[in-house]
Amino acid sequence: MGSITELSAFEIARLVASKEVSCREVTQAFLDRIDKVDPTYGSYLTVDQEGALAASEVAQSFVDRGEAGPLTGVPIAVKDNISTDGVETTCASKILKGYVPPFDATVVERFKQAGLVSLGKTNLDEFAMGASTETSAYKLTRNPWDPERAPGGSSGGSAAAVSAELAPIALGSDTGGSIRQPASLCGIVGFKPTYGRCSRYGLVAFGSSLDQIGPLARNVEDAALISEVITGHDPMDSTSLNLPPISTRDLKKGSLKGLRIAVPREMFGEATNPGVAATVQAALDVLRREGADIREVSLPSIELGVTTYYIIAPAEASSNLGRFDGVRFGPRSEGKGHIGVVEMTRAEGFGHEVKSRIMIGTYALSAGYYDAYYLRAQQVRALMQQEFANVFNEFDVIASPTSPVTAFKLGELNHDPLAMKLLDFCTIPANLGGMPGISLNCGFAEGLPVGLQLLGAPLEDEKLLQYAYAAEQALPDATRRPPIP
């Protein structure tokens, strides 16, 4: 056996269940590695050493009583916009510095009940608004494949932690691609379930009709196993679907033989880097040789996706972020009267990207512009959902690049906000349509990972994971790790 930190979540759980290694030994191995390696990558905002070791003792008691589950004793990292009882939750924003939630998000409660061990909170773009993790108010996160490059965003800290073996699995949130895009850039698996399959209770809201919590993992099996733990109906979330957890029972029964894959030509347009397009096409050729029936289709509404998203998401953010006023959460700035306090707190607490999205969203919802912008955007969203539904009537899955580019240099896109927003070109449709989506590494372009995105019809999460697992077995580079010490 190599180092514990090199193992998958499934392999760790198997060793723990057989008592070949204790939960405390596993947790300590990851804490030691974080201590040595994370100063290079900056994936964690908070490392909860004391809490993690205490949780490992609880997990060990499950094992000793013969009650170990499929992931008991496995460490996990949590994106810092998900509430953790007693552990600071900042959303990487100054406006929440020092805020310690008095409760756990439902997903955290569920993984604790299953015996997983939280290592700490990972870095993100402020309030999950960004595609590079560079808008964090606290630190830069670096890509384990090249520390001079960005890990993607907004769940860049979670992606970097899994890629650099600083956690076997991590939780992120996905509003326009924030799980799948960093998974692509860091060469790991990122899964966004169908909207409503995973509780959002305890997730600090950005775009309430778009947000969904999901896992980042080293392989599809690990992503599926943690999805089974955290999903299922939650009465605390009014958008939660009354469905059982995502099942892993038939995960390995999927086959590529006869699988009908649609490839939208719009996702291979000018915005897609030629090296990325060639790598994804080579991966599709592998799937074709394995028996998949792959055909090109057209989904014209994809061209309108980014524009539509950047009306709906900021409009919802404008509403959701109204609660951060210096009265209820985080630090308060001094000002003249109540309005002055709110103005100064928000001016000093929010970063540039968050302020700009609040302003755009407020404008889109204002009298005289609501019909022209927000209402029209929702109409385009409905059109896109119908186009995708028509494709799923004929095909099992839709395949595309996850990101149109590989990992870019830190700072490279900071002065080109449009280019940064276009990074979500391929991932946004899944959020607008509520579809499940997964990214897995399918190869490399100029030495950097390239993600293959697979989208399934709404509620077909189990089938999508089956297809992704089968694809992963066929793709030779799917689980290659970065060359890190």
Q: Give the pLDDT confidence of 164-200 residue by residue, as tens digits.
A: 999 999 999 999 999 999 999 999 999 999 999 999 9
Stretch (H or E) spanning 25:
helix 23-41
Whether the per-residue pLDDT at 306 is higher than 60: the answer is: yes
The burial of 95, by beta-carbon neighbours within 10 Å (0-12 exposed, 13-18 middle, 19 or more buried), is given as: buried
Read off the pLDDT band of 312 (50, 70, 90). very high
Q: Is 240 a catalytic residue?
A: no
What letter represents residue 274's amino acid?
P
Cβ atoms within 10 A of the Cβ of 230, count?
27
The pLDDT value given to residue 2: 62
| Strand partners of residue 166 | none
Q: What is the pLDDT of residues 105-164, one digit of tens each?
A: 999 999 999 999 999 999 999 999 999 999 999 999 999 999 999 999 999 999 999 999
The burial of 281, by beta-carbon neighbours within 10 Å (0-12 exposed, 13-18 middle, 19 or more buried), is given as: middle
SS3 311: helix
Whether the per-residue pLDDT at 20 is higher than 80: the answer is: yes
Q: How far apart are CA 70 and CA 91, in angstroms?
A: 30
The pLDDT value given to residue 345: 79
The pLDDT value given to residue 347: 81
Angle between helices 461-474 and 274-289 (to 10 degrees): 90
Helix locations, 269-351, DSSP H? 274-289, 305-320, 337-349
Q: How far apart are CA 334 and CA 344, in angstroms?
A: 7
Q: Is 79 a catalytic residue?
A: yes
The pLDDT value given to residue 383: 97
DSSP state string for 53-88: HHHHHHHHHHHHTT---TTTT-EEEEETTB-BTTB-
The fraction of the chain above a pLDDT of 70, given in percent, is 99
CATH numbers and ranges of domains, the chain: 4-258+399-474 (3.90.1300.10), 304-375 (no CATH)
Q: Is 178 a catalytic residue?
A: yes
Whether the per-residue pLDDT at 329 is higher than 90: the answer is: no
Residue range 414-430: average pLDDT?
A: 91
Catalytic residue (one of 136, 154, 158, 184):
154
Spatial strand order of the sheet with 437-445 comes to 44-47, 117-122, 75-79, 169-174, 212-217, 189-192, 437-445, 448-455, 397-401, 260-264, 293-297
Cβ atoms within 10 A of the Cβ of 446, count?
10
Q: How far apart are CA 183 and CA 152, in angstroms?
A: 8
Catalytic residue (one of 8, 79, 132, 163):
79
The pLDDT value given to residue 1: 52
Q: How far apart are CA 271 and CA 31, in angstroms?
A: 40
The pLDDT value given to residue 291: 98
Mean pLDDT of the chain: 95
Q: How far is CA 24 from CA 111, 376, 478, in A?
A: 17, 54, 30
Does pTM top 0.85 for this prediction? yes
Catalytic residue (one of 43, 158, 178, 240):
178
Whether the per-residue pLDDT at 434 is higher than 90: the answer is: yes
The pLDDT value given to residue 445: 97
Whether the per-residue pLDDT at 218 is higher than 90: the answer is: yes
The pLDDT value given to residue 341: 82
Residue 356, preceding peptide bond in cis (omega within 30° of 0): no
